[in-house]
Amino acid sequence: MAKQVWKPATLLSPLPAALVTCGTVEEPNVLTIAWTGIINSSPAMTYISVRPERWSHHLIAESGEFVINVTTDSLVRAADFCGVRSGKDTDKFAEMKLTALPASKVSAPILAQSPISLECKVTEVKHLGSHDMFIAEIVAIQVDDKYIDEDGRLDLRKAGVMFYSHGEYFAQGKKIGQMGYSVKKKRAKNPKLAKKKESK
């Protein structure tokens, strides 16, 4: 099978197109970030990579706080707008009719329209070149009640989580497996049930 060598910058996809809020509830700002993810379990750590010329960069650098808001298909227009407009001269919350709510442990607001908001405190900044990576501890998580099932588990299939890949946005697809299913032992067939089926 023939393969081509491509530039490495954007080929690991799909990616989240997370709406990252910063500033304060009174003066909120939001930008769209694709370079983000979980980097540690205990303590829970994440990161976002932001270009230094972005308006949000100095807000996050000064406060040391931000919130990662999971983006759904109903927020795709807002995600696109907030990724190409600057908060320096645009009130993106007003333009996209977004609502800023107080977070529980950081000064940055959470996004009311998002099903999950991860409140983060910066622990380290790495200057990598085109982007600065803000490494942060997740200090609180807020989840919309309507995405918690009757067993108390998070079920985001109803939310329509959105992903980004090579300049295009995609909605969440169908479930095709779950963690550990490839090594899970098959249940032994109940011989009594098998005999009942045979007798019918």
pLDDT digits (tens, 9 = 90+) for 117-133: 999 999 999 999 999 99
In the chain, the number of structural domains is 1
Give the alpha-carbon dihedral of 165, 167, 171, 176, to 10 degrees.
-20
Residue 83 in domain:
yes
Residue 4 in domain:
no
DSSP state letters, 135-150: EEEEEEEEE-GGGB-T
Is residue 171 within 8 Å of 22, Cβ to Cβ? no
Residue 118 in domain:
yes
pLDDT grade for 149, boundaries at 50, 70 and 90? confident
Residue 76 in domain:
yes
CA distance 50 to 66: 12
Residue 1 in domain:
no
User: Kindly report the CA angle at 181 between 175 and 184, in degrees rounded to 5?
Assistant: 155
User: 126 is in which domain, residue-wise?
Assistant: 15-199
CATH number at residue 117: 2.30.110.10
Residue 181 in domain:
yes
Summarised one tens digit per residue, pLDDT across range 70-95 is 999 999 999 999 999 998 989 999 99
Residue 9 in domain:
no
